[in-house]
Amino acid sequence: MKKLFSVAIVLFSVFSVEAQEFQGLAVYESKTSTSDFKANFGGNREITPEMQKNIEERMKKMMEKTFVLNFDKTASIYKEQEKLDAPGQNGTGMRMMSSMMGGGGTTYKNVKEKTYSVDKEFMGKEFLVKDSLPKLEWKMESETKQIGGYTCYKATAVKPASQSDFRNFRPKKDEAKKDEKEKTTNLMDSFEMPKEVTITAWYAPEIPINQGPENYWGLPGLILEVSDGKTVILCSKVVLNAKEKVAIKAPTKGKVISQKEYDETVTKKMEEMREQFKNGGGRPNFRMGN
């Protein structure tokens, strides 16, 4: 009896170590539609055809990104894969815009502690956003589809729109109805931030990990696709129990700030930039003070 008990302890210890060492990675391709932005370029007297082409090329680059999610049983890190930038396209302004369009930094999620942290750079200052994971009220659907060989189930939810994520920008409804002469000369005045967005996610119960891209979590399986209508994040590769392990640790660099405080900081600075444009101040000054 003692011998059987000892064997059970050994087996339990082995399985516990394997569970602790379990790791996986998922590669995601993120694409955000730019059709709303393109539609509002026309008729804007500040945007020349040359400027429009340049803006569209830069926006396309910012709106198409590749991310890697490394995860274990309780935590994950989600980071954009670095790309070689063209000369002159890696300045403060471009990094700021990339951050506001869902790129840059490392997002750490701990689903056991229900917390997250992400390091962000905005207007030359480094922030470390630390907060509780948003709890979405997922509505489980019966619809299924195949993603990368996995049977995925559909789930939907509604969440407040992040005021610092400019992928959520929508054209103002009344702006589209105006004729060319009535349209605003300030591009920033053509858009508004919605109060909430509808999320559609597809998760794979075959991968029983409570994780997903960005801040998405809370489903009984790894989220392989998520969409809010404008942005689609689709998993292109999954590797389970890879030989090479990755240190899944929270970022530590930057001024610690809550998500609400960070959103307020970004909103305030963007309002200042908006006023600069209105008052004929030309390009905004990408600085955050001392």
Could you list the pLDDT tens digit for every one of the 290 residues in the chain?
444 333 333 333 333 434 557 899 999 999 987 665 555 544 455 567 777 677 667 767 777 899 999 999 999 999 998 765 544 445 444 455 555 544 568 999 999 999 999 999 888 889 999 999 998 999 999 999 999 999 999 999 998 877 677 676 666 665 555 555 555 445 556 667 678 889 999 999 999 999 999 999 999 999 999 998 788 999 999 999 878 889 999 999 999 999 999 989 988 887 887 777 666 655 544 444 44
Positive or negative torsion for Cα 146, 151, 154, 155: negative
Residue 165: what pLDDT?
75
Residue 35: what pLDDT?
64
Residue 16: what pLDDT?
40
Residue 88: what pLDDT?
47
pTM of the predicted model, to two decimals? Answer: 0.75
Residue 244: what pLDDT?
83
Residue 274: what pLDDT?
72
Structure tokens at 33: 């539609």
C-beta of residue 119 within 8 angstroms of C-beta of residue 106: yes
